[in-house]
Amino acid sequence: MKKPITTPVVYARRCDKTGEGMNSGWLFGDGAMYIKYEADVIAELRGPNWKDFWTDMKSPSERTDDEVLEAAFEQDICHWTEWDPSEEDEWYTAHGCLLETKERVKLYTEELPATDVEIAAVLLKMRGFTVWVREGDDTPGKWAGKQTLGINVWQDDFSDSTGMEISDREVSDWARVYHEGMLSETEDKAYWEIAKQPNEWRFIGWRHIYGEDGPISEKA
């Protein structure tokens, strides 16, 4: 069983294969691609994108995984490295969502709403909606580096409710209410009361279910 996260980790890069945040992994060229896991690097180097690279060399099918990595390193295709988030000017969550400012990083590490989707979720919760923040999309084995916001809406006869996704434009409109200081003193107090209870506005239990890096982090 994966252990729950205690403090959210901030990452300096986002993996182009899994969508996860990463502070170490493989760098292709001067930043053309970032890959977190060795297995994905080897699959990439053996794939069609690098077919021409092997034209005048022993094909990857005739090489061990270690030989494939060694050849790529010797030809300056890619190499393993580390990054320190404290030395960067943009940051990512475990699920690859961009945190544009140090203020958002601080909110994220304190488990408070840090993205526009999360801010909008709290504001809609204040107005009585049942809300949830969803990480990623339906792409198997990959975080999309984005979040979506859903709400429950009751049918006209109140016999049942249905889920509805909030558009990006609506999310931006709601978030602007917070960013531009449009909340009254009473509303601001209500905002922070809900903000400090993440199970009220995000997908309940995602961190305890998935662990720090999500379900795909078990890949070797």
Give the pLDDT confidence of 149-173 residue by residue, as tens digits.
Answer: 888 765 455 555 567 888 999 999 9
Indicate whether 107 pLDDT > 90.
Answer: yes
**For 128-131, which contacts have Cβ atoms below 8 Å and span 24 or more sequence positions?**
130/161, 131/201
Query: Residue 77: its pLDDT value, please?
Result: 92
Query: Residue 56: its pLDDT value, please?
Result: 73
pLDDT (average), residues 133-153: 71
Give the Cα separation of 35 and 16 in Å (integer): 6
pLDDT per position as a tens digit, 186-201: 999 999 999 998 878 8
Other beta carbons within 10 Å of 13:
25
Q: What is the residue-averaged pLDDT of the chain?
A: 82
The residue length of the chain stands at 220
Indicate whether 27 pLDDT > 50.
Answer: yes
Percentage of the chain surpassing pLDDT 90? Answer: 50
Indicate whether 213 pLDDT > 60.
Answer: no
Cα three-residue angle 58-64-68, rounded to 5 degrees: 60
Query: Residue 114: its pLDDT value, please?
Result: 93
Query: Residue 5: its pLDDT value, please?
Result: 45
Q: Which among 128, 102, 124 is positioned nearest to 114, based on CA atoms?
A: 102
Indicate whether 138 pLDDT > 70.
Answer: no
User: Model's pTM, two decimal places?
Assistant: 0.77
Q: Which among 4, 144, 6, 9 is positioned nearest to 84, based on CA atoms?
A: 9
Indicate whether 204 pLDDT > 70.
Answer: no
Indicate whether 4 pLDDT > 50.
Answer: no
Query: Residue 161: its pLDDT value, please?
Result: 58
